[in-house]
Every structure is written in structure tokens, then in C-alpha cells.
Structure 1
Amino acid sequence: MQSLFEILLMLIGVAKMIIIIHIIMSWLITFQVLNLRQPLVASIWDGLNRLLEPVYGRIRSFLPQMNGLDLAPLVAILGIFALETILRNNAGAFM
């Protein structure tokens, strides 16, 4: 069961990193540090959007409209941190 616990924590860590990379990349694109006309940047951005849009779409359906401000990544990362905390606090169940 220890292995299952560690695998779950590893998957949560990967999910956190993907969301953080998406958030940072969106800032860099918004402030025109990265250019979507570059093929590598465009393909990475498209891949991240395809990966995260199903998650963000469900979160956006519950959030009120914020007139251009997207809080879905914030809610997703907070949910992942909460899930990690719950798993770590209940680690005894996996031992």
C-alpha cells in the first residue's frame, strides 16, 4: 500500500507541475515574451490546452463570469493542493 500512496503523490506532483507550467506560459504569452507564431511554443501551448481544457471547463461551469479573469487554474491548483493534504493526513490508511 505504501507504493500506491507514493504513486498517487507522484501523479499529484505531475499534475501540479503541468498546471503551473500552463499558468506561467499563459502569462508569458500575454506579456508577449513568448510568441505563438513559433512552432515549438504553439505546439506546447496547444498540447497543454488540450490536456487541461476538460478540467478547466468543468471548473468554469461552476464559477461565475469574471469578465476576462479566468480563475479556473487557481481553483484547479488549490484543489490539487487540498487533495495532496488529505492524502498526506490520511497516510496511515495506506500503510
Structure 2
Amino acid sequence: MNFIFQALSWVVSAYIMLIVVYALMSWLPGAYQSKLGQFIGRLVEPFLSYFNFISVGPLGFGPVVAIIVLSLVQYGLQYLQYIVLSLLV
């Protein structure tokens, strides 16, 4: 049971890293048009589209809010792991 929670936590952490890489690619001209950029975009853009409404002028805070939401999900998984494992003991 512990392995399942650890695997889910790892997947959330990896997705957070993909969002960070995707956000940093905006600093590099042509990075979104590369094969890697297109691949990461296909993985990240559907989730980020829920948070694209958050912007101040030309600055978009969608990736920041998405990372905060995923961090909350990760903490929720850790708490759920604690509850489930304490019930099993």
C-alpha cells in the first residue's frame, strides 16, 4: 500500500517539474517549437489551461497556481497515506 502512495507522489512531483520546465522554456526563443517543447506542451497545456485566467498585464501566474494546487494534492496524498497506514496497524 505504501508503494502506491509513493508512486503517486512521485508522479505529482514529476508533473510539477514538467510545469517548471515548460514555464522556463518561455525564456528561450523557439523552445516551444522544438520536439521536446511540443512533447512537454502536450502533457502540460491541458492542465495549465484551467489556470490561464490568472494574469497581471503580460505576466501569467497560471503555472504558479498550478504548482500550488499540485503541491496541495501531494500533501493530501501524504495525509491520506498516514491515515490509511495508521488504520492498518
- How high is the TM-score relative to the length of structure 1? 0.72
Aligned partners of 1:59, 1:20: CA distance in 2, in Å?
15
The one-letter amino acid paired with 1:58 is Y
Gaps (5+ residues) in structure 2? none
The one-letter amino acid paired with 1:49 is G
- The answer to whether the 8 A contact 1:12-1:80 is kept is yes
Aligned partners of 2:66, 2:55: CA distance in 1, in Å?
17
Identity %: 21
Query: Counting strand residues as a fraction of each chain, which structure ranks higher?
Result: 2
Aligned residue among 65, 68, 73 for 1:78 = 68
Higher relative contact order (CA 8 A, sep 6+): 1
Q: Spell out structure 1 runs of 4+ moving beyond 4 A.
A: none
- How high is the TM-score relative to the length of structure 2? 0.76
Gaps (5+ residues) in structure 1? 30-34
- The answer to whether the 8 A contact 1:2-1:94 is kept is no
Query: Structure 1 residues 64, 26: closer, same or farther in 2, change over 3 A?
Result: closer
